[in-house]
Structure 1
């Protein structure tokens, strides 16, 4: 029988690294994808030292169009089948969309949307065969417009919609599909996005380890969406009470004052 693996993108730090630790601790062999090979190697050594199966290391940049081909080739060379896909990789950029670098924003879509979609679909036959699952990292940002991070918020709305639709299509075939929707998480994300977390982030944030654990538990329980933290659970309910224009204005006032 071909060995089964859990594919985790963005595994070199933050929530992705925590996903790797949690899946490995639960007896999954993991295949780790990220740009920084040295980080992946260090994490792999940590996992094996803790008694986990040796991870498969796949250093690549998901902004590159051939990245998913590289991932598939590495898995084929290792003679493994994908049982779970954890599409964790993603990044944001903070500022006014028309003033920021257009190519970098399009690169964000390559990672947040194209690569996530590709990996979700590419291994579907394997997921069905192994009765596995897909865990896609969306965000509470996917529920509202985001002046100040317009492209990022829109990308997470896509992830949420795509995940819910894929869940409907694959559920009858025994595949779990879950969207994880955290709020602000203390990680390298904020530094890469170019902003310093404020009071709103301090109130809503949950640790990367807790977010990953709740995501793992939600996937295994076959939940449609997972909202880590009480504050985050309340946000989608509150949003129903206000017009979208009001919400967009409120987000703009909160975020654009930091520009």
Structure 2
């Protein structure tokens, strides 16, 4: 049985990945901060799909949490989904620097270290995959969040080019607005976001798995957002930043 390790696995895209991969026959390793919620998620997945589910409580914005998950990945995983992340309700000038640094540790350092923990074993076995969850925001300028997701995209492209094995794949997944707990937990007001821009988590995961199988390095899992990113390349960056800020407000 192949093994998949998913960070941020108890809600949103992480939970959707867990459902899809359990249905596909993967043994799961679920990583999240909330031990009680992890146990509940694991029990539900076992009852529904019948596969093995391991839980690993860890806060990836801490050194202890990162070290624990690195160690488990080096024991062997076939698919790593770096999904854990969060957003801030305010711009970076109104956000405590400690909170910004915690975001960078989770979005950048954790993605770097866990990917590097996974790839040597995958290369030696001759198979494996890493999905780093970025965002369409990474193609635009919108504070620390979009900057960190731009890093995830660039890093994933670089890692995919460097890994040099056709059966070891690294991909950045770049969804737009997804119906999850993400915005509520960040205290963000989403009332002004048009309904047609919202995506379903299960659909995003289905597109991601398809694109990974096809060997795509960057996955934008919806035609609407593909068009937005394509148009954005021709819009002056200062204008795109102003539009992004208006949407954010």
Q: CA deviation at 1:52?
A: 3.4
Task: Choose the corresponding residue for 2:199, options 201, 206, 220.
Answer: 206
TM, length-normalised to structure 2: 0.93
Quick check: 1:9–1:89 contact (8 Å CA) kept in 2? Answer: yes
Whole-angstrom CA distance in 2 between matches of 1:169 and 1:142: 21
Q: Distance in 1 between the 2:191 and 2:226 partners?
A: 20
List alignment gaps of at least 5 residues for structure 1.
Answer: none
Aligned to 1:225: 218
Q: CA RMSD in A?
A: 1.7
Q: How many pairs were matched up?
A: 248
CA distance in 1, matches of 2:187, 2:211: 30
1:38 is displaced (CA, Å) by: 1.8
The alpha-carbon deviation at position 201 of structure 1 amounts to 4.8
1:126 equivalent among 115, 121, 128:
121
**Is 2:9 the partner of 1:14?**
no
Mean CA deviation greater in 191-200 or 56-65: 191-200
Structure 2: where are the runs of 5+ without partners?
none
Counterpart of 1:241?
Answer: 234
Aligned to 1:167: 160
Structure 1 runs of 4+ aligned residues shifted over 6 Å read none
Residue 30 of structure 1: aligned partner = 28
- Looking at structure 2, the residues matched to 229 and 166 of structure 1 have their Cα atoms a distance apart, in angstroms, of 24
Equivalent in the alignment of 2:105: 110
Q: How far apart in 2 are the matches of 1:39 and 1:194?
A: 21
Kept after mapping to 2: 8 A contact 1:24/1:47: yes
Is the contact made by 1:29 and 1:52 (CA closer than 8 Å) also made in structure 2? no
